[in-house]
C-alpha cells in the first residue's frame, strides 16, 4: 500500500568510472522494476491513496510526525 503522491520516476542507477588518464565515463548499471516487472524510470509509481503534502510543509527539511499529513494518512490506512 502506497500513500502520498506519484513518485519522481528515477529508476536507474548510473555509475561513474575514472580512467587512468583523468578522463572518465558514466554508464547505466542498474534499473529498478516493480514486482510485476514494469520499469519505474520516467514513470514513477502511482500511490494507492493519493495525498498531497500540505502546502505549508513543502520546502521543510524536517517535518514533525504529528504535522505530516501524508504520514498521518498512512497510519490511518494501516489501522483499517
pLDDT of residue 37: 94
pLDDT of residue 1: 87
Note whether 18 and 51 are within 8 A (CB).
no
How many other CB atoms are there within 10 angstroms of residue 19's CB atom? 8
Residues of the chain falling short of pLDDT 50: none
Q: At 69, is the secondary structure helix, strand, or coil?
A: helix
> What Rg value do the Cα atoms of the chain yield, rounded?
18
- Report the alpha-carbon distance of residue 49 to residue 74 in Å, rounded: 9
C-alpha cell at 30: 542498474
- Provide the number of structural domains found in the chain: 1
pLDDT of residue 25: 97
pLDDT of residue 80: 76
Domain span at residue 61 reads: 3-79
Q: At 48, is the secondary structure helix, strand, or coil?
A: coil
Amino acid at each position: 500500500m502506497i500513500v502520498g503522491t506519484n513518485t519522481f520516476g528515477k529508476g536507474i542507477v548510473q555509475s561513474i568510472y575514472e580512467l587512468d588518464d583523468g578522463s572518465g565515463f558514466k554508464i547505466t548499471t542498474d534499473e529498478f522494476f516493480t514486482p510485476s516487472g514494469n520499469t519505474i524510470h520516467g514513470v514513477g509509481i502511482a500511490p494507492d491513496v493519493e495525498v498531497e503534502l500540505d502546502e505549508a510543509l513543502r520546502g521543510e527539511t524536517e517535518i514533525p510526525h504529528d504535522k505530516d499529513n501524508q504520514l498521518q494518512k498512512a497510519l490511518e490506512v494501516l489501522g483499517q
